[in-house]
Chains A and B, each alone.
Chain A
Amino acid sequence: MEKTLDLKYTYTEKKDTRSGFGDGLLEAGRNNPNVVGLCADLIGSLKMGAFQKEFPERFFQVGIAEANMIGLAAGMTIGGKIPFTGTFANFSTGRVYDQIRQSVAYSDKNVKICASHAGLTLGEDGATHQILEDLGMMRMLPHMTVINPCDYNQTKAATLALVDHVGPAYLRFGRPSWPIFTPADQKFEIGKAWKMIDGKDVTIFATGHLVWEAVVAEAMLREEGISAEVINIHTIKPLDTEAILDSVAKTGCAVSAEEHQLNGGLGDSIAQTLIRNHPAPLEYVGVNDSFGESGTPTQLLEKYGLNAENIVKKAKIALRRKSG
């Protein structure tokens, strides 16, 4: 379907965002001798093998012991190291929430919690591993920066940007092969939303894998004569409220799109911003208070309504509410 559309962004290659992390980490290791890596028995899944091979003395295999990994990373910052921890998003957050809260966030330690296999697109492993609450948990923590990039290039750029950012951060990425539609040489500015497509009727605020779906949705809406603005919210916290309010001041309504629970996610953050400053109709694309299940990423995104078609549907509802 998307091939027949006039897309504002296109791609020639697909890749997993976790590889963007792995390649970014390797480059970060070459640029900065203080970068260290820790992994809880998932080196292959996190694409940390190249870093491990090139910098064995700066890489620490922790085994299946994520709580310890978070504590170790917090301790390693004392003396100037910049630890990047790697495991699945589920084990990077829910499993170790108290360790992150006390030893990293409250203690304001320069730890980068890097989390792969987030959301439904993990696929066949099912709901035990498909965490859909991680952004909410992490954004609730004071001091924590929360980043959810959209493709390989942006994930790599975000990884590199985190080296120079001092403070606790959560970097979320995923497993599926996904269009690479942002430039390789992009500058990643933490906390600065990226307006990817200008529009005037409705704003689509998207994060992570769903930014691509938003790009597709924009083309679909355009075919029907609706002008949608697409804003890539790669940083969930600190949220670029100025960019959100500027856009909604113009369009008057919005849709949020995320591979996450509606409770506590990007949509909640945007709603909070709008309700305080500029109340306007907001529709949500996300998982509505349920767990995931096994299936292919495409099947799951369709079943749970996390795709371009549903963004289009929600955009039209938002438009109706605006004019009604």
Chain B
Amino acid sequence: MEKHSIDHLEGICSQVRRDCLRMVHAVQSGHPGAALGMCEYVVALFFNEMEHDSDFKMDGKGEDLFFLSNGHVSALWYSVLARSGYFGVPELGTFRKINSRLQGHPATEEGLPGIRIASGSLGQGLSVGIGAAQTKKLNQDDKLVYVMMGDGEQQEGQVWEAAMYAAHHKVDNLIAAIDLNRQQIDGPTEKVMDLIDLGAKWEAFGWQIVNIEKGNDMASVLEGLAKAKSLTGQGKPVMILLHTEMGYGVDFMVGTHKWHGVAPNDEQLENALGQLEETLGDY
């Protein structure tokens, strides 16, 4: 994969954030908060880190794979997929509309290139990613599997079934990440259901932990991903704790759960777009 400068990657992030907000605004539904917060990480994966082919093949043999377990962050993934060539950028305008391939939550049913499994009902993506990673091993395919989860999602029991399994079976071709924005729909995670020390939990389950303290700083994200990659192949799965700000990039959206699943109105959109440079051209 061709490597890009940090400036270039940040430029892509600005455009992707514009896409996300415009998509959510157009249908007055969707989840802008985490999409803005996870932007640097997902852009870094698709534009810099993963070896992947935008000429999509479901089997993904010989490619790094990405699974979005917290599927409500679909706008971000769709924008990144479109901007990296999986499908035409104008199709972003169909997000969440009738007869669209861009369903509210990611799905394979309509055949959108880039999506390998449906997600949205939380807690399932890590299991799927581990399964795909084990198939890679059986196929002598040395590429990696990346799984993205939310922090509220850590409240789902299946996540911990998967955690136990991956360590027991030494699934070390897997890099999972938790979007640690400390927010969920009903409020801060510490008030809804305290996650306490997630790093200690995952470590106790037998995983290697990488903290990316500045998850909205591209240089930190790239550095953290390099560290995570260096830990693969050592008999243990790898977990990135990605510390982000929900709503990052738009001053009135940042750091609050209030924009988890709320669309901006016309005025708010204009205000937000004024804070984000149009680098690649709006769809």
Contacts and interface: CB of A to CB of B under 8 A. Distances in A.
A311 interface: no
A226 to B, nearest CB: 48
21 contacts: A67-B123, A67-B161, A68-B161, A68-B165, A73-B131, A74-B131, A75-B129, A75-B135, A77-B131, A78-B59, A80-B59, A81-B138, A98-B121, A98-B124, A102-B119, A102-B120, A103-B127, A106-B108, A107-B107, A107-B108, A108-B108
Q: Which 4 A-B pairs have the closest CB atoms?
A: A75-B131, A71-B127, A65-B161, A68-B161
Given A76-B135, A78-B132, A63 B121 contact: no
Nearest to B106: A107
A182 interface: no
Contact of B164 (A58, A63, A83): A63
B118 A72 contact: no
A102 B121 contact: yes
B136 interface: yes
Given A67-B158, A72-B131, A75-B128, A109 B165 contact: no
B23 to A, nearest CB: 22
Nearest to B131: A75
B117 A75 contact: yes
Given A65-B164, A76-B131, 20 more contacts: A57-B138, A65-B161, A67-B123, A68-B162, A68-B165, A71-B126, A72-B165, A74-B131, A75-B130, A75-B135, A76-B135, A77-B131, A79-B135, A80-B61, A81-B135, A83-B131, A102-B119, A103-B117, A106-B118, A107-B109
Contacts of B125: 71
Contacts of A79: 59-61, 132, 135-136, 138-139, 141
A263 interface: no
Nearest to A36: B138
Most central of A67, A79, A83 by chain B CB within 10 Å = A79
Given A60-B169, A106-B107, A107-B108, A67 B127 contact: yes
B124 A71 contact: yes
Contacts of A68: 127, 158, 161-162, 165
Contact of B134 (A72, A80, A106): A72
B143 to A, nearest CB: 10
Contact of A60 (B124, B128, B134, B139): B134
B129 to A, nearest CB: 6
Interface string A73-106: 1111111110100000000000000110111001
A221 B59 CA distance: 54
A70 interface: yes
B58 interface: yes
Contact of A67 (B134, B138, B157): B157
A62 interface: yes
B59 A99 contact: no
Most central of A99, A101, A102, A106 by chain B CB within 10 Å = A102
A75 to B, nearest CB: 2
B60 A78 contact: yes
- Contact-size category for A: 20 to 34
Nearest to A103: B124
A240 B60 CA distance: 36
Nearest to A73: B131
Nearest to A143: B109
Nearest to A98: B121
Contacts of B157: 67
B132 A109 contact: no
Interface in B154-201: 157-158, 161-162, 164-165, 168-169
B236 interface: no
Interface in B42-69: 58-61, 65, 67
Nearest to B65: A78
Nearest to A62: B165
Nearest to A96: B158
B162 A71 contact: yes
B116 interface: yes
Interface string A124-160: 0000000000000000000000000000000000000
A29 to B, nearest CB: 13
Interface string A248-291: 00000000000000000000000000000000000000000000
A68 B141 CA distance: 23
Contacts of B126: 71
A257 B162 CA distance: 40
A57 B139 CA distance: 12
Nearest to B126: A71
B124 A102 contact: yes
A57 B135 CA distance: 11
B123 to A, nearest CB: 8
A98 B118 CA distance: 12
Nearest to B67: A75
Contact of B117 (A36, A58, A69, A109): A109
B58 A78 contact: yes
A80 B128 contact: no
A72 B117 contact: no
